C-alpha cells in the first residue's frame, strides 16, 4: 500500500497503524486515526488532491473477475454483522478491517459511502483499485418510510470529479408501496447521469415488502429474475449498467435473465462460511458473472480472521481473459483471410 502525500507538510503512512492494531488486538490505540481528523480540520482539500493523484485501475475485462469490498452499510444505519447489532459502529475498527482486505492484491475495488471513501483516499488505500460510490442511502434501516430510498450519497458529478469508476444504487422494488414509482424514476435519472459521464451504474435490485414490521427482500429465484427484468430496463441506456445480485437457488436461471456484467453480493449470511463460499464458487463459474462485491461476510467473519476470509474468497475467482465465441470466430475468420492474401 503506497503512501499518499496530502499536503506539503503531511504524508499519510504507507501502512496505517490500524492494520497492526487489528492483527494484535491488545494494541488498540484510540489515536491511530487522529491524523485523519487533523487533515479534515486543517486541510480538507487534501481529499480532492488524494483523489486526483490516485493511480487508476486499468479497467474490467471479461474473465478477469473483480473482487470489490463493500463498505456502505453504516450510512443507511445498517450496523449489524454476524449477529452483532453494532458491529460496524466503530469506525476505527472498520478502517482497520478494510485496509487488511484492500492489502490483498486480489482485492481490486471498493464500494463505499462518501465518508468512508474519503478516509480511504487519505490513507492511500485505493491505489490501482476500482472505485464505486454509494448513491442512495436515504432508505434508513427501520425507517417508517424505508422504501423512499432517496439519493443522499455520491452524485454522478462528484464521482466523476473523484476519478471513480461508477456508482451503486440499492433498488428495492415494493409493489405495495407508492414510494416505488418515484424511486424508480430517480434511479433511472441516476443511471442516465452516470452514463453521460461514462461511469458504471451498479444496480442492486430486489423485490421487497413490509413483513411483520420489517422490510424483507424476496430471495426466491423467480423474484430475483423479475427484479432483474425491471432494473435492467431503467434509464435511457443500459450501456454502462451492471447488476449486483444475491446468490440464490438456481443461479443458472438467474444469470439467463441478463446480458449485463454481474457481480455477486454477499449480504449477511447465517450459514457456515464454507457453505457460503461453496455457493459463491458455483455462481462465479456461470457466464456473465464478473466477480464479487462483498462486505460484512468478509470484513466481519465469524472467526475474526479478515485476511483469511478474504484470501479464501479470492481463491474462487478466475483471472484469465475470456474471448466470447463470436469474437473468437470473427478473429479466426479475419486471420484466415489475411493468410489467404
Of the given ranges (24-28, 271-275, 304-308, 317-321), which has the lowest mean pLDDT?
24-28
CA distance 87 to 84: 5
Amino acid 261: pLDDT = 98
Burial of 194 (0-12, 13-18, 19+ CB in 10 A): buried
Amino acid 195: pLDDT = 98
Average pLDDT score over residue span 77-100: 93
Burial of 114 (0-12, 13-18, 19+ CB in 10 A): buried
Q: Closest Cα partner for 50 from 122, 109, 140?
A: 122
Q: State the pLDDT confidence band at 292, using cuts at 50, 70 and 90.
A: very high
> Quick one: CA torsion of 267, 268, 271, 272, rounded to 10 degrees?
100
Amino acid 23: pLDDT = 47
Name the range with the highest mean pLDDT among 4-18, 26-40, 109-123. 109-123
Q: Is 24's pLDDT higher than 70?
A: no
Q: Closest Cα partner for 183 from 162, 208, 212?
A: 208
Q: Is 133's pLDDT higher than 90?
A: yes
Chosen CATH of 4-340 out of 3.40.50.300, 3.10.580.10, 3.20.20.70, 3.20.20.10? 3.20.20.70
pTM comes to: 0.87
Q: In the block, which residue shows the cell 430471495?
A: 219
Of the given ranges (28-42, 43-57, 263-277, 317-331), which has the lowest mean pLDDT?
317-331
Q: Is 328's pLDDT higher than 70?
A: no
Q: Is 17's pLDDT higher than 50?
A: no
Amino acid 19: pLDDT = 44
Amino acid 268: pLDDT = 66
Amino acid at each position: 500500500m503506497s503512501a499518499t502525500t496530502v499536503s506539503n507538510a503531511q504524508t499519510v503512512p504507507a501502512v496505517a497503524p490500524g492494520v497492526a492494531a487489528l492483527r494484535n488486538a491488545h494494541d488498540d490505540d484510540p489515536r491511530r486515526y487522529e491524523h485523519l481528523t487533523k487533515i479534515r480540520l486543517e486541510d480538507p482539500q487534501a481529499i480532492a488532491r488524494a483523489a486526483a493523484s490516485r493511480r487508476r485501475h486499468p479497467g474490467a475485462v471479461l474473465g478477469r473477475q473483480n473482487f470489490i469490498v463493500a463498505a456502505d452499510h453504516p450510512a443507511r444505519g445498517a450496523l449489524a454483522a454476524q449477529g452483532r447489532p453494532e458491529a460496524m459502529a466503530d469506525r476505527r475498527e472498520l478502517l482497520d478491517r478494510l485496509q487488511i482486505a484492500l492489502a490483498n492484491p486480489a482485492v481490486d475495488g471498493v464500494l463505499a459511502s462518501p465518508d468512508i471513501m474519503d478516509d480511504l483516499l487519505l490513507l492511500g488505500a485505493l491505489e490501482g483499485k476500482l472505485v464505486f460510490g454509494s448513491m442512495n442511502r436515504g432508505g434508513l434501516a427501520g425507517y417508517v418510510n424505508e422504501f423512499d430510498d432517496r439519493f443522499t450519497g455520491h452524485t454522478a458529478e462528484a464521482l466523476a470529479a473523484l476519478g471513480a469508476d461508477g456508482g451503486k444504487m440499492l433498488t428495492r422494488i415494493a409493489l405495495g408501496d407508492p414510494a416505488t414509482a418515484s424511486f424508480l424514476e430517480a434511479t433511472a435519472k441516476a443511471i442516465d447521469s452516470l452514463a453521460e459521464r461514462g461511469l458504471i451504474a451498479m444496480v442492486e435490485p430486489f423485490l421487497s415488502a413490509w413483513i411483520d414490521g420489517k422490510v424483507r427482500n424476496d430471495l426466491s429465484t423467480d423474484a430475483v429474475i423479475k427484479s432483474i427484468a425491471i432494473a435492467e430496463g431503467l434509464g435511457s441506456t443500459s450501456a454502462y449498467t451492471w447488476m449486483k445480485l444475491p446468490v440464490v437457488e438456481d443461479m443458472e436461471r438467474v444469470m439467463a435473465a441478463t446480458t449485463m456484467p454481474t457481480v455477486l453480493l454477499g449480504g449477511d449470511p447465517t450459514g457456515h462460511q464454507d457453505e457460503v463460499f461453496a455457493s459463491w464458487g458455483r455462481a462465479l463459474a456461470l457466464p456473465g458473472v464478473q466477480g464479487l462485491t462483498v462486505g460484512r461476510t468478509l470484513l466481519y467473519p465469524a472467526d475474526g480472521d479478515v485476511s483469511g476470509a478474504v484470501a479464501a474468497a479470492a481463491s474462487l475467482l478466475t483471472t484469465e481473459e475470456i474471448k466470447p465465441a463470436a469474437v473468437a470466430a470473427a478473429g479466426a475468420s479475419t486471420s484466415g483471410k489475411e493468410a489467404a492474401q
